[in-house]
Structure 1
């Protein structure tokens, strides 16, 4: 059956679900989204797991078992999360096989407590990759300054990486460079790169949430609600520049796959905007859009598949140039969003560990 998601896939964009819990893994909801609707991947983060693990009793038996084993709350969390990720990877494995390894991925994030810790991030990324032991899994590493060298090293070790918490166009360039350096490092040791996949997750709605009030206050109402889309369109131009370069051609000839751009934070946070603001406008080849369940349902109901990502590229550049001319520093605002993003992931993670600790009868 043709759905809006399948039509979008035919245009070159994968639609992933930005959610996971044991209910949808076990009651057939995720399977139906994959088989009937065409969803071809899944992403998770600490906030998603907090919502999943803190409600109901699906994890209680595991928590009792882990409590008896005397493990820490964080160890308990990752033990349970890995099981969920493995189950989701199993449901998506037919997509991965059908797409010859180019789709069908599930993402698991390193601890948000490690966002400023390069060595800790790399160590945990390698550990999670080994423990999950599925080819269609990506380990999420934040695109912080400290995360960049960890991304390079993880790619060198052959790990699929989803770079998360990207808000800055300049940081995006650094992320692509880290990816290519990791591939080059690996090739220099005589190891293959054809099996390595990566996405760079650009967060969108949070950009408009932060900058819209600033634009209103400064009298730039014409740019309200336009900055996130402008950033996404400019990021795609950077993608085309870097992945059609001579440097990339050399890697491509060795079997390397381009690092796809992924649109994250796609649920509209401003009720004045349409529920598909960050979906319908950003459909293009070699991209991914990960959506919360309510946005998936909205797209299935009234989405409009079409090649829209490069519509209005010149307008996007005019918006970005106008911001610079008005002394609105997007890079500084991106840094603020990064800090807020780390905090927004740490708070639910701490809350989750506390909830697990209560059930285990220990502190969080």
Structure 2
């Protein structure tokens, strides 16, 4: 059994933050499922831009599509390619989904980042993508913006599993958890089943430290009188934030509201740790896996981080360790004026903008691959 499989046994499911046509066709995903106990895949515009925008792996499929649809818009050409990859990944993961009775085995496909602040458009696109992929182990990714909340509820109520992305703060996560429960409650009111609907709430961890650490370093360099204390919280804020969020999750699933849903078969909305590649070489490259291990969680890793954990990761129930210490870190952050609330709010905006830029680049690359009849 590999160390990644041991991680899954400890309660943290292993997902791959990567999709690529050649990788899928070569059986790379199947190998990870069989050897490492992988149970899920995530995608986003940045991942698809790297996969589709470079090389020729998708050219044959695109040429065939263009020959049949010479007047297709660029967005339709992209969706055709993306949906093929998502279907292939879903087929590979379907045995996992069946074995775990719909509790895992999911592949995620994101709505357009252009509509992150449009509730109705998000709901409509979630339904369109769900119908196009037509696989029960699909999760539609919806950003955890203010507009995303009601879209999440409506999508869950429609019987579609959801991966909520771009979460950074406890407050945003609490809104998302409420949205998930609200969608399930709507189904219950209409006498519809809820036992095979799943959701994850994706916290992006490394970006918090990257932003906070930059401010810490600036203040220390300028000789801040609180330099020693500032240095003491460097690299600890994202993990503390995640631990406090998980503590809230534990309280929430013990609540009367959630227990009423659980009695009808509801699956808990697992916390998913995303952006787990370390951005500061001063930290261990497995930091955001080692320190976030606990039941009912997911860690989605890029291939490089997965390789690192396989070689030198450590497994222990760290997520519930020293919650009081995590709260002290966050209290110090507030006392020091590092303004985590403003940082997390800005990171959501930057995340949406970054995905929109990647989407721009992706569509531009596909547009330059001219239709076969041109």
Q: What TM-score, normalized by structure 2, do the two folds share?
A: 0.94
Q: 1:274, CA displacement in angstroms?
A: 1.0
Cα distance in 2, alignment partners of residues 231 and 195 from structure 1: 30
Q: What TM-score, normalized by structure 1, do the two folds share?
A: 0.97
Q: 1:144, CA displacement in angstroms?
A: 0.4
Cα distance in 2, alignment partners of residues 311 and 190 from structure 1: 40
Contact kept? 1:148, 1:174, Cα under 8 Å: yes
- Does structure 1 residue 321 correspond to structure 2 residue 321? no
Q: 1:116, CA displacement in angstroms?
A: 1.1
Q: 1:215, CA displacement in angstroms?
A: 2.3
Pairing of 1:46-85 with structure 2 (within 5 A) = 46-68=45-67, 69=69, 70-85=71-86
Query: Which residue pairs with 1:113 in the alignment?
Result: 114
Contact kept? 2:212, 2:338, Cα under 8 Å: no
Cα distance in 2, alignment partners of residues 305 and 135 from structure 1: 32
1:35-63: CA deviation from partner (whole Å, max 9, x where unpaired): 11211111000000000001221211222
Contact kept? 1:96, 1:103, Cα under 8 Å: yes
Contact kept? 1:162, 1:199, Cα under 8 Å: yes
Q: 1:256, CA displacement in angstroms?
A: 0.6
Cα distance in 2, alignment partners of residues 88 and 335 from structure 1: 33
Query: Which residue pairs with 2:93 in the alignment?
Result: 92
Pairing of 1:223-234 with structure 2 (within 5 A) = 223-234=233-244
Query: Which residue pairs with 1:201 in the alignment?
Result: 202
Query: Which residue pairs with 2:168 in the alignment?
Result: 167
1:161-192: CA deviation from partner (whole Å, max 9, x where unpaired): 00000011101000000000010111111111
Q: 1:27, CA displacement in angstroms?
A: 0.7
Contact kept? 1:34, 1:40, Cα under 8 Å: yes
Q: 1:361, CA displacement in angstroms?
A: 5.6
Cα distance in 2, alignment partners of residues 55 and 260 from structure 1: 34
- Does structure 1 residue 291 correspond to structure 2 residue 301? yes
1:218-248: CA deviation from partner (whole Å, max 9, x where unpaired): 5211111000000110110111111110000
1:3-37: CA deviation from partner (whole Å, max 9, x where unpaired): 11111111111000000001110112111111112
Cα distance in 1, alignment partners of residues 64 and 370 from structure 2: 9
Pairing of 1:338-349 with structure 2 (within 5 A) = 338-349=348-359
Aligned residues: 361
Pairing of 1:89-238 with structure 2 (within 5 A) = 89-216=90-217, 217=219, 218=224, 219=227, 220-238=230-248
Pairing of 1:307-318 with structure 2 (within 5 A) = 307-318=317-328
Q: Where does structure 1 differ by over 6 angstroms across 4 or more consecutive aligned residues?
A: none
Pairing of 1:7-22 with structure 2 (within 5 A) = 7-22=6-21
Q: 2:369 aligns with which of 340, 359, 364?
A: 359
Q: 1:249, CA displacement in angstroms?
A: 0.5
- Does structure 1 residue 301 correspond to structure 2 residue 295? no
Query: Which residue pairs with 1:6 in the alignment?
Result: 5
Instruction: State which drifts further: 47-56 or 324-333.
Output: 324-333
Contact kept? 1:63, 1:360, Cα under 8 Å: no
Contact kept? 2:153, 2:179, Cα under 8 Å: yes
RMSD: 1.2
Q: 1:315, CA displacement in angstroms?
A: 1.1
SS in 2 for 1:283: coil
Query: Which residue pairs with 1:34 in the alignment?
Result: 33
